[in-house]
Amino acid sequence: MKPTFDIENSIWDRGYKYIAGTDEAGRGPLVGPVVAAAVILPKTFNIEGVNDSKKLSEKKREELYNLIIENALCYSISIISEKIIDKINIYNASKKAMIDAITSLHIKPDYILSDAMKLDLSIPCDAIIKGDAKSITIAAASILAKVTRDRLMIELDSKYPMYNFKKNKGYPTKEHVNAISKHGIIKEHRRTYNPVKEYIEKK
């Protein structure tokens, strides 16, 4: 399955003009923020290869990121810190990131497509299961969110190379978990996530 404009076309046919797609990256990692993007694409958008960001190589995501930004009518990216994730939980932080990204768009959308997340907005919104595999607009948002978050993790890797964030992007790989046991945690670790929580409790 590759994402198409089928969902968007049915909405445009009903008279809506600006459809924003939104998705997030970074629910599962032990460290760093959750990032969401919202994007409004023109009907003429025709960039080959746009897909669910998880199905693309890092190089392809970077290439598409630039093309999406160049060709979108508008886009917005929202970053919610690990401290807020620990305070309000990852579900609410992901929802907040998406809503913040949508409300920051400089063109006000009249319809929202989200990847499986029900959003409390006054604008009509469809939460589509596996939306990033079905809708090009959601897939484009997933690429913007993923590339932004990966770049933040590469920056963090330069400060803390012992965790190899440039490779694991903060996810709980065996290497990352072993590095926590050996080096402890950093301020960017999510305190409410195991094994970070377990490490703190043992101290």
Indicate whether 125 pLDDT > 80.
Answer: yes
If you average pLDDT over every residue of the chain, what do you get? 97
45-85 tens-digit pLDDT: 999 999 999 999 999 999 999 999 999 999 999 999 999 99
Q: How high is the pLDDT of residue 1?
A: 78
Nearest to 128 by CA among 4, 12, 45, 44: 4
SS3 call for 56? coil
Assess contact for 186 and 28: CB atoms under 8 A. Answer: no
Q: How confident is the model at residue 149 (pLDDT cuts 50, 70, 90)?
A: very high
Q: What is the pTM of this model?
A: 0.97
Determine the Cα–Cα distance for residues 115 and 165; give it in Å rounded to an integer. Answer: 26
Q: Is 168 left (phi over 0), alpha (psi -120 to 50) or beta?
A: alpha
Q: How high is the pLDDT of residue 28?
A: 97
**121: Cα within 13 Å, side-chain hemisphere:** 24
Q: How high is the pLDDT of residue 88?
A: 98
Task: Kindly give the residue spans of alpha helices, DSSP state H, lying in 4-89.
Answer: 6-12, 58-71, 82-88
Q: How high is the pLDDT of residue 67?
A: 98
Indicate whether 172 pLDDT > 90.
Answer: yes
Indicate whether 203 pLDDT > 80.
Answer: no
Determine the Cα–Cα distance for residues 108 and 128; give it in Å rounded to an integer. Answer: 21
